[in-house]
Structure 1
Amino acid sequence: MYIDYSRLCPAPMSDFLEYMLSIKGRSEKTVSEYFLDLRTFYRFMALRYKLCSESDEFNDIDINVITLDVLKKISIMDLHAFVGFIDRERNNSNRTKARKIACLRSFFKYLYSIVKLIPSNPAVDLETPKKNSRLPVALTLDESKSMLSSIKGSNEKRDYAIIILFLNCGLRLSELIGINIDKIKGDTLTVVGKGNKERTIYLNDICIKAIEDYLAVRPDAKPGHENALFISNRRTRFTQRGVQHMVEKYLAESGLSGMHYSPHKLRHTAATLMYQYGHVDIRTLQELLGHESVSTTQIYTHIDKKQLRDAVKINPLNDETT
């Protein structure tokens, strides 16, 4: 859904958000996060520069008081103060702080280098805190089989196809709900990943069979949703929340609720299973998951399409049948 940021925030913030969306190709979700991060920053600066009453509730502070003249005055010390604020007052993790700092860097780079509205870039030397390393949470092979066995009911074929695609191909949730029927060609399908970039997913035998079985019983979709692969009970494209609810239901039915699993954890599971059981090298796995390159040199590493197909085929769940 298109969001008119000019109604929610002043220029040049709104211009920056539109630039990130239309020129840089950032996803609507990412730009929405930029908006929330910058709104928090604007409110903090309104307090710091005494442009609002100290008695105002933080979430009620008017961000329109941050004009271009104010932005021109902001220094690295102001940015350090903001990082201290989100650390101590907002209890942000290092990972969240790093995201907000990245947002500020992009914003001030835009103001200074792209549209040339400020005399200097205060964020150019803003450091990023070290992210807390977190091991990805993933289901074991037995837990994955248990979850697949729990899928029953009137939407069994659809739900099974969704879970099997998560567990075998490592799709992102946004990629899965965005699958269109006309993008499935034999053992490949094309999805739109992060940054609105298209990438090719290679399907193993169990994925192909699961999709075929579902298409045989897939209900007719409402106008405007005919090309969507996965259809909800309302005969519209399945939503992210709908998939999340469905995943949570089968996790509970297989005794795995309360373990912080989610559709994204199923993506981690696919990667873990292929790495543990398929002896897939990290570069191939990176390509399969659609991650950005981990280093400049790896951009030039050639991954043969046969190697990608083979990596998906050796997922141990490819041997399971419905």
Structure 2
Amino acid sequence: MKTKQPKILKDFLIYLTTITGKSQRTRKEYEYDLVLFFRFLKAVEDDIPTSQIHTIDISEITIDWIKQLTLEDLYLFMEYCEIQRQNSAAARARKVATLKSFFKYLKGKRRLIEENPADELETPKIGKRAPVYLNLQEAQTFIEATKLQQYSARDYCIIMFFLNLGIRVSELCSLNMHSVQGRNVTVIGKGDKERIVYMNDGCLDALNRYLPQRHLYKGDGVEPLFVSQKGTRFARQSIAKIVKQLNTSTLNREKLTPHKLRHTSATLMYKAGADIRSLQHILGHSSVATTQIYTHIEDEQIQEVMKSNPFNNIIM
């Protein structure tokens, strides 16, 4: 059952997509966080057990009610997310970003509040984790497994697009027939930013194998490049299921997702000599700092670099 939202929340969500260019997925995440935030504070205010939080009506929340909120209310909500909901630091960091964006909108864009309680709200520290990726041999094993799939040409093409183009799963799902022009693929990334990625021989060969077997699209509007056996555009969950099936039958790596294939593509391209700026364009990162996550070097490589230092043999 759809939650009835207060007008101020609806206005903010519209602002997110129409003015700031946030994707529908990001909008839904912000919506989820703010609905939870409002429901939690109403539960505290009305002495309702948090076990019943999903039943709380927030439709009557007004700007006057929001004006009474303080930094302590935000801390209380973050404590609830950490202790009771057991949200990770990354999940809590997203909620902080949501709250900061919402209150900044209320003060800076709408001039509805004089004090921004989220100004001093700190973001939880997130430990840096090396991205999970497949080595070249593992990736080849993964590709080989597509031959055993029911729709082998399609699944082979999907995996080759991930590994050669380094695209996100949402970008792959949104590809259309007209996205491919010769060797170039026009990819629509985060914030509807468009980039053109070149297809190498392996990727082009996979596409040419797939197209003659492509299912007939039964929907309306533009023709998607990848069509399910039901004649519909692929959803992210369906692509994830294909990757999971391949993983289960071969490597059985923990939490191997389509995004990990993107990590694999970027890492192996970097190891093959791709420079950081080229990778930034291929991956569609707005900041090179994000791309640098993929340029991790394994300990063994670091040791070899240190050993090859010309000063290594100079011992006094």
Query: C-alpha distance in 2, partners of 1:191/1:8?
Result: 35
Q: Which residue of 2 aligns with 1:91?
A: 86
Query: C-alpha distance in 1, partners of 2:222/2:278?
Result: 34
Query: C-alpha distance in 1, partners of 2:258/2:50?
Result: 42
Q: Which residue of 2 aligns with 1:187?
A: 183
Q: Which residue of 2 aligns with 1:45?
A: 41
Q: Which residue of 2 aligns with 1:109?
A: 104
**CA contact under 8 A between 1:98 and 1:129: conserved in structure 2?**
yes
**CA contact under 8 A between 1:52 and 1:61: conserved in structure 2?**
no
Query: C-alpha distance in 2, partners of 1:294/1:150?
Result: 34
Matching residue within 281, 291, 316 for 1:287: 281
Query: 1:288 corresponds to which letter in structure 2?
Result: I
Q: Which residue of 2 aligns with 1:314?
A: none
**CA contact under 8 A between 2:173 and 2:226: conserved in structure 1?**
yes
Report the CA distance between 1:223 and its aligned residue.
Answer: 4.4
**CA contact under 8 A between 2:107 and 2:113: conserved in structure 1?**
yes
Query: 2:188 corresponds to which letter in structure 1?
Result: V
Report the CA distance between 1:56 and its aligned residue.
Answer: 6.6
**CA contact under 8 A between 1:220 and 1:226: conserved in structure 2?**
no
Structure-2 change in CA distance of 1:219 and 1:65 (3 Å): closer
Q: Which runs of 4+ in 1 moved over 3 A?
A: 51-56
Are 2:58 and 1:63 equivalent residues in the alignment?
A: yes
Q: Which residue of 1 aligns with 2:146?
A: 151
Q: Which residue of 1 aligns with 2:135?
A: 140
Structure-2 change in CA distance of 1:225 and 1:33 (3 Å): same
**CA contact under 8 A between 1:173 and 1:263: conserved in structure 2?**
yes
**CA contact under 8 A between 1:138 and 1:268: conserved in structure 2?**
yes
Are 2:145 and 1:166 equivalent residues in the alignment?
A: no
Q: Which residue of 1 aligns with 2:307?
A: none
Calculate the TM-score normalised by the size of structure 2.
0.85
Are 2:174 and 1:178 equivalent residues in the alignment?
A: yes
Query: C-alpha distance in 1, partners of 2:267/2:126?
Result: 22
Q: Which residue of 1 aligns with 2:268?
A: 273
**CA contact under 8 A between 2:100 and 2:119: conserved in structure 1?**
yes
**CA contact under 8 A between 1:225 and 1:236: conserved in structure 2?**
no
Are 2:129 and 1:129 equivalent residues in the alignment?
A: no
Query: C-alpha distance in 1, partners of 2:54/2:173?
Result: 33
Calculate the TM-score normalised by the size of structure 1.
0.84
Query: C-alpha distance in 2, partners of 1:53/1:78?
Result: 16
Query: C-alpha distance in 1, partners of 2:58/2:219?
Result: 41
| Structure 1 residues without counterparts, runs of 5 or longer | 299-322
Instruction: Return 38-47 or 261-270, whichever deviates more.
Output: 38-47
Report the CA distance between 1:137 and its aligned residue.
Answer: 1.0
**For residues 14-73 of structure 1, what are the alpha-carbon distances to aligned partners after superposition, in whole Å with 9 as ceiling and x for unaligned?**
11111112221111111111111011111221133x235358712222223532211011
Matching residue within 21, 24, 33 for 2:20: 24
Query: C-alpha distance in 2, partners of 1:47/1:98?
Result: 22
Are 2:247 and 1:251 equivalent residues in the alignment?
A: yes
Query: 2:79 corresponds to which letter in structure 1?
Result: G
**CA contact under 8 A between 1:95 and 1:132: conserved in structure 2?**
no
**CA contact under 8 A between 2:195 and 2:281: conserved in structure 1?**
no
Query: C-alpha distance in 1, partners of 2:127/2:109?
Result: 32
Report the CA distance between 1:99 and its aligned residue.
Answer: 0.6
**CA contact under 8 A between 2:4 and 2:57: conserved in structure 1?**
no
Structure-2 change in CA distance of 1:226 and 1:30 (3 Å): closer
